[in-house]
Amino acid sequence: MSSSNSNNNDRGRVKDHNRRHQDAKNQDIYALLDLMKTLRDPAHGCPWDVKQTFETIAPYTIEEAYEVADAIERGDMADLKDELGDLLLQIVFHAQMAAERDLFDFQDVAAHVTAKMIHRHPHVFGSDNADNAEDVEARIWEERKAMEGRKQGLESILDDVPKTFPALPRAQKLQKRAARVGFEWPQAIDVFDKIEEEIAELRHAIAENDTVNIEEEIGDMMFCLVNLGRMLGVDCETSLRKANDKFELRFKGIEKEVKSQGKDMTHASLDEMELLWQSQKQKEKS
């Protein structure tokens, strides 16, 4: 056998192996789709799964997305694999319910997002160029999303920001959309004047004991802080989650110290807890 024929045979075996490997992966997807179809079967499926609707499943979808984020934050890759599977199941669940109504199916979802990603990456699949990740996000992605919004006939650039988003990321997304057309402070430092203005208005509302206005001013102040974070390149949802984790760690440290003294937290004075709080901060630094 010639060297050329041998190489051709080797390449053929590699292609055949890769094709079988890809077919096996595809079978995993088909098995998951068939599983959900069976679970939703009114005659032979699971009563709980059959009863569900888009509305009842939506909270689980959101919950699974947060659990994915939590696994990433903890750096637990085994748990991430598990949580990604749970999130994928949610997508398959929604797609199956849509297929039952002849709206769309899982293949339609995959095809649509593939086409959308190709459209949003002209620097990869077209003739456009991008120098860095910031250029992709600030210029190409925003331009393409704006183009998609016009095609959908949206009256406002804010119309595609879902009202069901948690308040913090929704605030950041609304501000980002507005900044796209120039509704933006020149520098992040300029936001401090607005924050101080909102603090003064909150102080006035508190002095007037105006509970309705207090709620409004608290919201305005948080909205300004989100804007400041966004302009400084901070994801405020992530920032607040980390602050929550830090508070939890320090407070649990206080609880541990109080219990080691044979006392209950309800019997510890505020001054004692403040000293322990400062002690916890020093432990973190060291």
Task: Classify residue 76: in a domain, yes or no.
Answer: yes
Angle (CA) 33-73-169 rounded to 5° is: 80
pLDDT at res. 37: 97
- The whole domain housing 40 covers 3-119
Q: Domain tally for the chain?
A: 1
Under 8 Å between Cβ of 68 and 80: yes
* pLDDT for position 283: 86
How many C-beta neighbours within 10 Å does residue 12 have?
Answer: 10
- Residue 180 included in any domain: no
Instruction: Please give the Cα distance from 50 to 42 (Å, whole number).
Output: 6
One-letter amino acid at 263 equals: K
Specify the 3-state DSSP secondary structure of 253.
helix
Inside any domain, residue 244: no
Quick one: pLDDT at residue 180?
83
Give the pLDDT of residue 38: 97
Q: What would the two tokens of residue 119 be?
A: 């459209």
CB atoms within 10 A of CB 142: 17
Query: Is 82 inside any structural domain?
Result: yes
Residue 132 lies in a domain: no
Q: What is the CATH number of the domain that holds 63?
A: 1.10.287.1080
pTM equals 0.62
Q: Consecutive sets of 10 residues in the chain, 286 residues long: mean pLDDT of each?
A: 55 59 77 96 96 95 92 94 97 98 97 90 76 65 65 76 88 91 92 96 96 96 96 92 92 92 89 91 84
60 within domain boundaries: yes
pLDDT at 8: 57
Angle CA 109–155–114, to nearest 5:
20
pLDDT at site 124: 80
Residue ranges in the chain assigned as alpha helix (H): 3-39, 47-51, 54-74, 77-100, 106-119, 122-125, 133-135, 142-151, 167-180, 191-207, 211-231, 236-260, 270-285
Q: Could you tell me which of 280, 155, 271, 176 has the C-alpha nearest to residue 227?
A: 176
